[in-house]
Structure 1
Amino acid sequence: MESKHTGMGSTTPYGSISAPQEEHDTSTAINSSSSSSTVRFGTPEALEHVRKLTDVGAMTRLLHECIAYQRALDLELDTILSQRSDLDKQLSNLHKSTELLEIVKADSDHMLSNVCSTCDLADQVSGKVRQLDLAQSRVSDTLLRIDAIVERGNCIDGVKKALQTEDFELAAKYIQTFLQIDAKYRDSGSDQRELLLASKKQLEGIVRKRLSAAVDQRDHPAILRFIRLYSPLGLEEEGLQVYISYLKKVISMRSRLEFEQLVELMEQQQSSAATTNQNQVNFVACLTNLFKDIVLAIEENNEILRSNLCGEDGIVYAICELQDECDSRGSLILKKYMEYRKLAKLTSEINTYKSNLLSVGVQGPDPREIELYLEEILQLTQLAG
């Protein structure tokens, strides 16, 4: 079977068949022909399918589909060909850009080479700088060590001269400087350290001996002088204990002296059986003076405790220790007061009188005496509170 077709139609053995109207939208034509036909044109399967056709109607329908598919391809080809000039221009521009990119690439490679060489040079310079810095640090450390050795030698000589002239403050200052240097550069100058420690031990013995003598003599300026030497010698805690012990001894001595005077007055009154001068035995004043001594001891020695003897901790320690001394001496005063006023006996008499209120002829304690005792007890308790 043969078939012929022209641009507008086709001829078959059964007559002339007009071609379908040309599609304006290429994609629509291709999609419509593909969706309405079960044959994929342009493939070996389509050719095999055509050879197997025997029905004229099917052949005619397939012919129309083929013509429509061909026209759609023509339209698509025309569309692509219409874009050729633009594509040629773009391709020409790409060729020009390629030449420019080659130049840029060459410049970039040259710049990369320069940067790499600069980086290598910088690494070398940085390494040299680190080496120089390390060398400078070692030189500086060596110079400091040399200065420390010289300074320690000066301290040793200064301590010896100061001890000879009994300038103990200057000797303690030299020792303190040496100990500070030695703590920083302990790995050098062992011979110097032994000499200095020997001088330090000698000065410590002198200070302890002189301080003990000053305490025995109650020489307060000398005590302050030697107690200030404990800090530069690194003996703050020992100095604090010694100084607080001295303050407790002073307070105890004053309180004991007043207490003994009270006891003496009590004995005089008891021996003479005098009752008119009982007010001279003033326990309230004795206890008040004890508290004043405690307060003055803290206030007057606040500076030396804070600056030379452990700072705030030294003040707290002093308060606690002096409080113990206050409790001890105050208890003795209160016990002696109870003994002097015979409060136990008075309490017994009051209890006996209360149980015999209805008895005739029983007289209780003198209310005026009780009032006097209550006033004294109130004053004592206010002080103790």
Structure 2
Amino acid sequence: MQPFLGSKFDVNALSNIEDVRAAFELLCREEDKVGHELDEVLDKQTGLDSRLKAVTALTPELGDVKSEGRRLSGLICHTALLAEKVSAKVRQLDLAKSRVAECQQRVHDLIDLRRCSEGVTLALQEEDYEQAAAHIHRFLGMDEGVLRLTSRDLEKSEGEEQKKSSSLDLSLATLHQAENKVRGIVNRRFDEAVNAEDLASIERFFKIFPLINLHSVGLNKFTLYLRGKLAAANKDNLKQALETGPGDKRFNVIFADTLTLLFEGIARIVEIHQPLIETYYGPGRMTTVLGLLQEECDRQAEKIFREFKKRRGIQDKVNKVREVHLGKVKEENKLQARDLDTILGEMTLLQARVEMYFRFVRKRCLADIEVSETGGSETVEKMLTTSDLNRIAQDSLGDYILLEHFFMSENIAKLYLQIRAIALLKNFIVNILELVFVQFILFCLFCFQVFQNQMKLGFPSTYLDQAYTVIQSSLQGKLGAPSDSERQKQLFLAYLNNTESGTEYLTRLQNSVQMDTSVLSASLNPKQAEKIQNCLSGMISVNDRLKIVLDTGMAALRTAVVKPRLKPWIDSFTTIPHNINDEQYSEFEANDPFVQGLIVNLDGLLNTFKIGLTTGNYERFVMLVAGEVTLQLEKAVMKTSFSRLGGLQFDKEVRSLSSYLTSVTTWTIRDKFSRLVQISSVLNVETLQEVSEFSGSQSVSSWKLAPAEVNLSMNKQVQISEHPGSDLRTSRLRSLNI
């Protein structure tokens, strides 16, 4: 334990000279520190004295400040007290004013009550029902309890309690009696006007209903009248449609026209009467009116769809199609696709009209809800989705999908049978199928736009799957066929071209449809958008499967044509010496014994297939040939010995091949020759250090050769393989990070 800590230590504990010296040094340091602090304090004395003098000079003024502060505090307290008194009086005045205004309103109500009582009696005698309703409307805006309380207060002040009370009760009884009488008269006279088809009287009494607080009754009666007019008009239209003969130019769409007239009638009713309803009944009533009209629309639309199915034989055709799917119908008794063409068109128009009507209803209801700030879009959607019209349209849509599926399937099958014999014509099948695809996709897109993609999931992909199956089965049938027949070769190439063109057309159609349907994204809910994506995914799936078929066909070409042709041409490389001297190198430079002949043979092979292949397939074929050439040539190199001049000769051969193949294709082909180029570079080095320098200049991703492959390539270089240090090559290569 130390005998001291800081400046505090026990002198008696200092037992040796070292402790005494340490204590002395500590005390000296503390003395210096204290002296330094004292010097600093003394240096500040002058400044402190001057500041204290300034403060001392302000002392007389502090007394004045204190007195002024007290005076200001008193003034503020007095002002606050005065303001509180004034505000209390203002509150009293406001309360008195509000009570006076309330009292005046009560007195005015009593005066208006007497006037209304007298005025309604006179108006009823003169059959001025508008004026009578106005008096009753004013009376209904009063509070009877407040009126009786006000009357009682006035009676007490005037001392005529019995007389005033009987007068008030008489006025109230008169107005209640008049209210019931006016309501009865208005209801009766409105019904009489409806029966008499008196439009002026109908509108006259329709305007009176809200004045007597019968908003719902007035709307129900008026809407019932409009529904009667709508039903009568639709009956005449449907009768005229049924009498239309087959010779009429609108015969094939007559039921779609009839449904259109029904919806136009509803739209006309809304356009004409919406201002009247909003003026006298206030905003927020159109949703109720459209809901009542929707009930009549459901009944009338059901009649139209029923007659459509009956006259067009929809159910019979649906049953026949189902029997075809079950295999219960013979070929000669099967329904013909041409019989469905016009029917499908009319069914599409029916769906289009329904969707157009739903959009109209949504727009009017949402606009009305926005103005009135009552209700919500959920109410409108529920009204439409639960309506009988939506149910009928969905049932019709189910029939349409079944018939359309059968129609497109039959057309594809017949089209394939008709043009199968002339499949040698380049792209003929796929060009025709593309026209069908375009018409069908545009047709489906039209359906998406008119009823927001209510078609069932999977229909487009099912149709495309059939086209894919046709091409795939044909192509697979030709892959295993013997190749000695020129016709079979041409058929194989034709189907291969059809597959490539099919992928191109599907990609183009997919992009086009996605662009066209993107305009619908703002009006679609997530579920509807998901349906569109599911439909488009069918195209993607078929496109991927066609690409697999295309790859299979190209692999068959490689096995049956490219490899057998290239093998003898490349094998000749091993018969040509590459361990050459200067004289042989000069001779090879003047007249190359290998690469010139190979290029001529490759040119002949490529020109043979260029005529029969599409541009895309020809590019793929060139890449296929290039890949096979590099693969087989690399194998041949590993069977050959090279001198350094032979390595230079091989480098020239590789560059000549790469330049030629690059000239016959627009695709990049340099990557195919990267391994051969690196092998030729290795064959041209003289020392291991050159290999290190060369590989070091290449990025990791661009260097294709493994250390073992570099070692094998260097073994083919005679000068390096005979070098005394060749046994240490592998370890040296690893140490050089190759």
TM-score interval for Structure 1 and Structure 2 normalised by the shorter chain: 0.5 to 0.7
| Equivalent in 167, 170, 176 of residue 131 of structure 2 | 170
Larger Rg: 1
Distance in 2 separating the partners of 1:330 and 1:345: 21
What is the match of residue 224 of structure 2?
245
| Equivalent in 330, 355, 361 of residue 301 of structure 2 | 330
Contact 1:173 1:232 in 2 (8 A): yes
What is the match of residue 370 of structure 1?
340
Q: Which has the higher contact order (CA 8 A, sep 6+)?
A: 1
TM-score (norm 1): 0.57
CA drift of 1:345 comes to: 2.6
Residues 186-239 of structure 1, C-alpha deviations (whole Å, 9 max, x = no match): 335651211111111111111111100111122222111101111111111211
1:223 aligns with 2:214: no
Residues 289-338 of structure 1, C-alpha deviations (whole Å, 9 max, x = no match): 100011112221112222323521x1111112222221221111111111
Q: Percent identity?
A: 26
| Equivalent in 321, 331, 349 of residue 379 of structure 1 | 349
Distance in 2 separating the partners of 1:339 and 1:261: 16
Residues 61-109 of structure 1, C-alpha deviations (whole Å, 9 max, x = no match): xxxxxxxxxxxxxxxxxxxxxxxxxxxxxxxxxxxxxxxxxxx9xxx9x
| Equivalent in 287, 294, 299 of residue 266 of structure 2 | 294
* Gap change, CA 1:218 and 1:369, over 3 Å in 2: farther
Residues 253-304 of structure 1, C-alpha deviations (whole Å, 9 max, x = no match): 21122223334x27xx7xxxxx545955821221111000111122211122
Distance in 2 separating the partners of 1:311 and 1:327: 25
CA drift of 1:244 comes to: 1.7
* Gap change, CA 1:367 and 1:161, over 3 Å in 2: same
Distance in 1 separating the partners of 2:210 and 2:137: 9
- Structure 1 letter corresponding to 2:277: L
TM-score (norm 2): 0.32
Distance in 1 separating the partners of 2:233 and 2:336: 35
CA drift of 1:138 comes to: 6.1
Provide the secondary structure at the position in 2 that maps to 1:166: coil
Contact 1:239 1:309 in 2 (8 A): no
1:181 aligns with 2:150: no
* Gap change, CA 1:188 and 1:248, over 3 Å in 2: farther
Contact 2:120 2:135 in 1 (8 A): yes
- Structure 1 letter corresponding to 2:353: L
Provide the secondary structure at the position in 2 that maps to 1:229: helix
What is the match of residue 290 of structure 2?
319
Provide the secondary structure at the position in 1 that maps to 2:194: helix
Contact 1:236 1:308 in 2 (8 A): no
What is the match of residue 340 of structure 1?
311
* Gap change, CA 1:240 and 1:126, over 3 Å in 2: closer
CA drift of 1:347 comes to: 3.7
Contact 2:117 2:172 in 1 (8 A): no
What is the match of residue 146 of structure 1?
107
1:212 aligns with 2:191: yes
* Gap change, CA 1:230 and 1:188, over 3 Å in 2: farther
What is the match of residue 532 of structure 2?
none
Residues 134-175 of structure 1, C-alpha deviations (whole Å, 9 max, x = no match): 777766655543332222111111111111111111111111
Distance in 1 separating the partners of 2:85 and 2:293: 71
Contact 2:107 2:150 in 1 (8 A): no
* Gap change, CA 1:375 and 1:200, over 3 Å in 2: same
1:258 aligns with 2:237: yes
Structure 1 unaligned spans of 5+: 1-103, 113-118, 270-274
* Gap change, CA 1:354 and 1:300, over 3 Å in 2: farther
Aligned length, in residue pairs:
270
Residues 358-378 of structure 1, C-alpha deviations (whole Å, 9 max, x = no match): xxxx36556554322222222
1:232 aligns with 2:211: yes
CA drift of 1:120 comes to: 12
Provide the secondary structure at the position in 2 that maps to 1:149: helix
Structure 2 unaligned spans of 5+: 1-66, 75-79, 152-167, 356-738
Provide the secondary structure at the position in 1 that maps to 2:209: coil
Distance in 2 separating the partners of 1:130 and 1:363: 97
